[in-house]
Amino acid sequence: MNIISKTRSFGGTQSVHSHVSEVLGCDMRFAVFTPPADVHGAGPYPVLYWLSGLTCTEENFTAKAGAQRIAAELGLVVVAPDTSPRGEGVPGDPDGAYDFGLGAGFYLNATESPWSKHYKMYSYITRELPTLIEKELPADAVRAGIFGHSMGGHGALTIHLKHPDKFKTCSAFSPIVAPSEVPWGKKAFSNYLGSDESAWAAYDASALVSKNPSGADILIDQGMADQFLEEQLKPERFAAACQASGQSLTLRMQDGYDHSYYFIATFIEDHLRWHYERLTRR
Amino acid sequence: MNIISKTRSFGGTQSVHSHVSEVLGCDMRFAVFTPPADVHGAGPYPVLYWLSGLTCTEENFTAKAGAQRIAAELGLVVVAPDTSPRGEGVPGDPDGAYDFGLGAGFYLNATESPWSKHYKMYSYITRELPTLIEKELPADAVRAGIFGHSMGGHGALTIHLKHPDKFKTCSAFSPIVAPSEVPWGKKAFSNYLGSDESAWAAYDASALVSKNPSGADILIDQGMADQFLEEQLKPERFAAACQASGQSLTLRMQDGYDHSYYFIATFIEDHLRWHYERLTRR
């Protein structure tokens, strides 16, 4: 694990690291906020994994969400990985589209060629990255949560629902909740997973929650002026599936907010406090 | 004045506008945060002008500083202009350097050809922009302050010192305080203003404060791990000049912080509260 940069922020440390990912077959970057040790001790601290949306790298959340202030106050480690494999030999969208390939790994393990060689973000996020973080940083393996935005909200929901014992708490901003039914998801799943839609359900939050509610609470914030709300996001699908299966869900429709990081920054404090409270409850 | 974008943020509105600048002879953009009217009424509100540093546009501060949260709470308008003229016919650095020309207007009125045609950021910030803002937005002309970062800290200090009745409060992060004596300033001033150094003093905060202390307090935050501290910033020069002339100055040397927006975000709340308190004091 190499250090790309290390910057003081709210008394803690915002750093960016690189490492060789065996799972993805390329170098990967991730950003980490570590809270001030003089306030909170040396840790290990509760840890949150943030999954970003389409086109993002490890930098967007780190620079724009304003999470460091509350993470420093509470004593939380926050990890923000990149959104896809990258680098030499990693194929991108043939047409250079923003919604598939580079920056658009969809937090799944691709089974179709040529994607299946590198696009294994599901294994990367659920196994390789936390193992590295827990080994190298003061992050508590038994107090971990996951959250994300848009495509990353999809990632957070699906990973929490499949691993509620590893990622105990979950929240999302503007998540893709029914990828099997919307254009972004159909494009990604048909390419990464093939045309047999029965394979898609393993990465569809609404399908997953219908069969396996997690037992935890889930928090979702969704802007009502979000340009992608009707065509791509459809939070009502997930809400209906949660209600049917008994999954606890708090869905907040936020008047006037769009899909941007200005929306995330406005409500990030609520999400961090929400995770912290549940991860540290005795 | 055109609207480029309008986004809800912390209950208020983050917008980006464009207009034809007669002073600069080009189209210009600026960003504005307007606080929530349902909390603070329709205004006019106290207004702060933020001047950004080298390479920045109106976007850097807006996306990264996290000022909206406190501006929404207090009821402040915050205006973030671009840092130089731009567009067709506006000359940049012949070598494409980051520290002169486009993105590096230094908040002065150039007198040397070819810069003197467009590079009039001093008149733009002190006259044209506030006149437009006060006409089109709920900004109170008599409760205005100015602050900035690095080159923009230089701009804020010099403009406050020359117009303490217009820009009544002033603060800065990591400002260039003695441009006549440091590489960034010498390059800019010799090109924009010519080789006669007697013309430089009108845009040198340390020279200005020696002769004309403003009567207000000035707040400066400076990171001690700032890579530009020794060669370009030299806050001790300004502190000495303030002490000699009786200018009130609070200079805070912040251990471990660098020159980045992570530093600004950490202390932006202090600055906003500091301006607000002084602008609304009776």
Q: Do A266 and B225 touch (CB under 8 A)?
A: no
3 state DSSP class of A247: coil
* Average pLDDT per 10 consecutive residues for chain A, totaling 282 residues: 97 98 98 97 97 98 98 98 96 95 98 98 98 98 98 98 98 98 98 96 98 96 98 98 98 98 98 98 84
Q: Do B265 and A7 touch (CB under 8 A)?
A: no
- Contact A266/B at CB under 8 A: yes
* A264/B143 Cα distance (integer angstroms): 31
* B53/B199 Cα distance (integer angstroms): 22
Segment B174-206, tens digit of pLDDT: 999 999 999 999 999 999 999 999 999 999 999
Segment B51-105, tens digit of pLDDT: 999 999 999 999 999 999 999 999 999 999 999 999 999 999 999 999 999 999 9
- Contact A225/B at CB under 8 A: yes
Give the residue from chain B lying closest to A72, CA to CA. B266
* B2/B9 Cα distance (integer angstroms): 20
Q: Based on the residue annotation, tell me whether A259 is a catalytic residue of this protein.
A: yes
Contacts B64 to A, Cβ<8 Å: 63-64
Q: Running DSSP on this structure, what letter comes out for residue B260?
A: S
Q: Do B69 and A68 touch (CB under 8 A)?
A: no
What integer best gives the mean pLDDT of chain B? 97
pLDDT of B261 reads 98
Q: Do A8 and B63 touch (CB under 8 A)?
A: no
Q: Looking at the DSSP assignment, which residues form a beta bridge with residue B104?
A: B101
Tell the residue number behind the tokens 């907010």, with chain if given: A257
- Contact B12/A at CB under 8 A: no
Distance from CA of A225 to the nearest CA of B (A): 9
Contact B175, B156 (CB under 8 A): yes
Q: Do B7 and A66 touch (CB under 8 A)?
A: no
* B7/B72 Cα distance (integer angstroms): 14
For the whole model, what pTM was predicted? 0.97
3 state DSSP class of A208: helix
Which tokens sit at A39? 């306030």
- Tell me which residue in A8, A223, A261 faces B256 most closely, judged by beta carbons: A8
* A153/A175 Cα distance (integer angstroms): 4
- Counting DSSP H helices and E strands in chain A, the numbers are 10, 9
Give the residue from chain A lying closest to B224, CA to CA. A8
Instruction: Quote ipTM for the complex.
Output: 0.95
* B29/B52 Cα distance (integer angstroms): 13
Give the residue from chain B lying closest to A8, CA to CA. B257
* A17/B227 Cα distance (integer angstroms): 20
Q: Do B11 and A266 touch (CB under 8 A)?
A: yes
Sheet strands side by side (includes B26-34): B2-9, B12-21, B26-34, B77-81, B45-51, B139-149, B169-173, B217-223, B248-254
Q: Based on the residue annotation, tell me whether B226 is a catalytic residue of this protein.
A: yes
Torsion of CA B88, B93, B96, B100, to 10 degrees: -110
- Contact A11/B at CB under 8 A: yes
pLDDT of A178 reads 98
Where are any strands of DSSP class E within chain A? 2-9, 12-21, 26-34, 45-51, 77-81, 139-149, 169-173, 217-223, 248-254
- Among residues A150, A180, A206, A214, the one annotated as catalytic is A150
Q: Do A68 and B262 touch (CB under 8 A)?
A: yes
- Tell me which residue in B63, B258, B262 faces A261 most closely, judged by beta carbons: B63
Please, which pLDDT band fits residue B108 given cuts at 50, 70 and 90? very high
Sheet strands side by side (includes A26-34): A2-9, A12-21, A26-34, A77-81, A45-51, A139-149, A169-173, A217-223, A248-254
* A265/A268 Cα distance (integer angstroms): 5
Distance from CA of B48 to the nearest CA of A (A): 20
Please, which pLDDT band fits residue B282 given cuts at 50, 70 and 90? confident
Q: Do A262 and B66 touch (CB under 8 A)?
A: no
Look up residue A118 and give its amino acid.
H
Q: Running DSSP on this structure, what letter comes out for residue A256?
A: T
Contacts B69 to A, Cβ<8 Å: 66, 265-266
A4, A8, A61, A261: best to mutate for the B interface, most B CBs within 10 A: A8
Tell the residue number behind the tokens 């790298």, with chain if given: A57
Q: Based on the residue annotation, tell me whether A221 is a catalytic residue of this protein.
A: no
Give the residue from chain A lying closest to B66, CA to CA. A66
Closest CA to B249 of B239, B261, B257, B259: B239
* B73/B272 Cα distance (integer angstroms): 10
Contacts B68 to A, Cβ<8 Å: 262, 265-266
- Contact B69/A at CB under 8 A: yes
- State how far the alpha carbon of B256 is from the alpha carbons of A105, A237, B47, B264, in Å: 36, 48, 31, 13
Q: Do A266 and B7 touch (CB under 8 A)?
A: no
pLDDT of A282 reads 76
